[in-house]
Structure 1
Amino acid sequence: MSGKLSDDALDTIFRTARTQNAWTSEPVSDATLREIFELMKWGPTSANMSPARFVFVKSKEAKEKLSPALSEGNRAKTMSAPVTVIIGHDVEFYEHLPKLFPHDQSAKTWFNWSAEWAATHAFRNGSLQGAYFMIAARALGLDCGPMSGFDAAKVEEAFFPGGRIKANFLCNIGHGDPKALFPRSPRFEFDEVAQII
């Protein structure tokens, strides 16, 4: 195990990172998107299920396909972002467990007995992977703008046909324009929301 990250690294990932609302024209390369994924994939999930699925929306045509699903408040910033990532989760992730959890070939049966049970685990662990994705993007010098203001059914129809993959959230990534930032919102103090027992 390596030691604690530097304060500069912690600032980049957490303390000074901000949710971006506008973007510069600097592009994000396909190689960088792959690099984000290669970092993100090492984050832990239950039984290594890795249910998250990603669509990187970059082209003008793909952005136009996504646009009707966006809430009005998210449309302009999404259309101007270099990349919008659709973060979904495979509700039948368990089909891949023989590969992903090879030391117990019965792992598939832990989840495939109930669609509701599987969907709960897919959503929970896919959300974790979405968070890992944003941390990885920030660690590589990119800004993020996660969003939940969209019509999931429209996104799924356009990008995840077949019903197996469900849309969780969207995240714009690129280099943010600080002129469009809101004042920093407050956060809870430890004693307001946490306890050590």
Structure 2
Amino acid sequence: MTNTLSDEALDLLFREARSYNGWLDKDVSDEQIHAIYELLKMGPTSANQQPGRFVWCKSQDSRERLASHASEGNRQKILDAPVCVIIGYDLDFHEQLPWLFPHTDAKSWFAGDADARKESAFRNSVLQGAYLMLAARALGLDCGPMSGFDQDATTKEFFADQPRYRADWLCSIGYGDRSTIFDRSPRPEFDTFNKLL
């Protein structure tokens, strides 16, 4: 691939993108949610594991239920957002590998090794959550990623029918209210945390 994104696109995804704390009263449609997923699923994961499991809390009831498990500072961010996504992962993602990665017997790499499955599920689902944010931004939406919630209680409530799923972090999605963002925090120069060998 030789094409590069325009400066406008890079601003949209990275340079001008911000984490929002408040939202405009503007809906995010089911079609937009599906479009975000159709993009995020294309991001690479190890052996195409696709361990991310997503709950899109769009209804008022689902957001109220989710907010009840959040820290005081995050409750209103969830309630006011058009959508708040629970990004979780499947500890038994390897059961899906025969069709997700049919080139070889990848399921056997993880069978009987719960620690390896947890590590890989966590790492790759976080990647998928990052792809989710980039997809939402690419489609003209804003994001408000957050932790600060009871992961166990959220897991029990929203993944009750899937006992091997775990909630990890949250991301509100919508049209951000610019009055709710802080001044951008410092970003380190390359030499601060990098080595080029």
Q: Show the 5 A alignment for 1:53-64.
A: 53-64=53-64
Hey, what's the Cα distance between the residues in 1 that align with 2:122 and 2:107?
Answer: 17
Tell me which residue corresponds to 2:184: 184
- Is 1:108 aligned to 2:107, yes or no? yes
Report the 3-state secondary structure (helix = DSSP H, G, I; strand = E; otherwise coil) of the residue aligned with 2:62: helix
Match of 1:160 in 2: 159
> Could you tell me which amino acid in structure 1 is paired with residue 151 of structure 2?
A
Aligned to 1:132: 131
C-alpha distance in 2, partners of 1:57/1:172? 9
TM-score, structure 2 normalization: 0.98
Runs of 4+ in 1 over 4 A off after TM superposition: none
Q: Which runs of 5+ in 1 are unaligned?
A: none
CA-CA distance at 1:116 after TM superposition: 1.1
Higher mean alpha-carbon deviation, 158-167 vs 76-85, is at: 158-167
1:65 is paired with a residue whose SS is helix
User: Match of 1:3, as an amino acid?
Assistant: N
Structure-2 separation of matches of 1:2 and 1:91: 37
Distance 1:187 1:160 in 2: 36
For 1:112 and 1:142, the matched residues in 2 are separated by: 39
TM-score, normalised to structure 1's length? 0.98
Contact persistence 2:67–2:74 (CA under 8 A): no
State the distance in 2 between where 1:116 and 1:71 align.
29
- Partners in 2 of 1:130 and 1:110 — Cα distance? 24
Deviations 1:116-138 (CA, angstroms, capped at 9, x unpaired): 11000000000000000000000
User: Residue type matched to 1:175 in 2?
Assistant: Y
User: In the TM superposition, what is the alpha-carbon distance from 1:30 to its structure 2 partner?
Assistant: 0.3
Aligned to 1:123: 122
- The alpha-carbon deviation at position 112 of structure 1 amounts to 1.8
State the Cα distance separating 1:163 from its structure 2 match.
Answer: 2.7
- Tell me the SS of whatever aligns to 1:53: strand
In 1: Cα distance, 2:35 partner to 2:82 partner: 16
Question: Residue 67 of structure 2 contacts residue 76 of structure 2 at CA under 8 Å; is this kept in 1?
Answer: no
Q: Which residue of 2 aligns with 1:143?
A: 142
Determine helix, strand or coil for the equivalent of 2:68: helix
- Identity fraction in percent: 54
* RMSD across aligned positions (CA): 0.8
Write out per-residue CA displacement over residues 148-185 of structure 1, whole angstroms, 9 at most, x where no aligned residue.
11000010011011431111110000000001111110
